[in-house]
Amino acid sequence: MTPRANDCSHPTAIPPKVDDTFKGFKYVPYSVLTSTARWQAVRNGEEAFTITAAGAIAAKGLDRRNERSITLSDWIGAAEAAEERTEFYHGIARAVALKAHHSVVLGLSRSHSWDFVVGSSLVQTSHLYITCTSPDVPAQIYLLVWFILLDLILSLPDGCVAATFDIASAYRIVPVHPSQQWALCIFWNGHAYVDRALMFGLSSSTHILQ
């Protein structure tokens, strides 16, 4: 029988503090999911709280010092544990999105240095905890689309360029209110030119960057 990641009877089970972090849908460094890190947690125990310089008690976060130096083999084991815990606490949709990301990471590792790949993965997994502010978009769908988009961009070969068919959408060309057009009047070669629309609008416009 193969023990599950949170089987506390198994000497290398995920430590309770790490498991609670998964449960709370917070970022978990893959370096704390390696077998070595789990053994150290069992041997040394874990302290949930620490004393600050001001003498206050604060919750102790997970150690992120070694997350960029994780080896490929350790990362694979950590990724499997992360998928299992994510599905257990947050459902199949989020686990599928995470698994898709892991597949892209492994694919990139065949053509890029592991240092580059793991660094890119850290940036993307930090977005796992971004939630959509629109009440009309289900959280599971938003997460899945977000990961697919990021992985698609990262997997593109060198030399690819991005473009848009709608220049107004790309630069948010915003009409200038008639009461503000006087500030955009240019006299050149005997003619007066007035800008009626600008990229992102005027700085005084209420529509800027919206």
**Pair 151, 175 in one domain:** no
Place of tokens 């990262």: 154
Query: Is residue 30 very low, low, confident or very high in pLDDT (cuts 50, 70, 90)?
Result: very high
**Pair 35, 126 in one domain:** yes
**What global pTM score does this model have?**
0.55
**Pair 137, 34 in one domain:** yes
- Residue pair 42/12 in contact (Cβ under 8 Å)? The answer is yes
Average pLDDT for 100-111: 88
Q: Which of 136, 155, 174 is the last residue of a domain?
A: 155
Per the domain annotation, does 51 fall within a domain? yes
The residue count for the chain: 210
Distance from the Cα of residue 51 to its chain's centroid? 30
Per the domain annotation, does 37 fall within a domain? yes
Q: Which of 19-28, 77-86, 161-170 has the highest mean pLDDT?
A: 77-86
Between 5 and 80, whose confidence is greater?
80
**Pair 170, 209 in one domain:** yes
**Pair 34, 127 in one domain:** yes
Which structural domain, as residue segments, surrounds residue 193?
Answer: 163-210
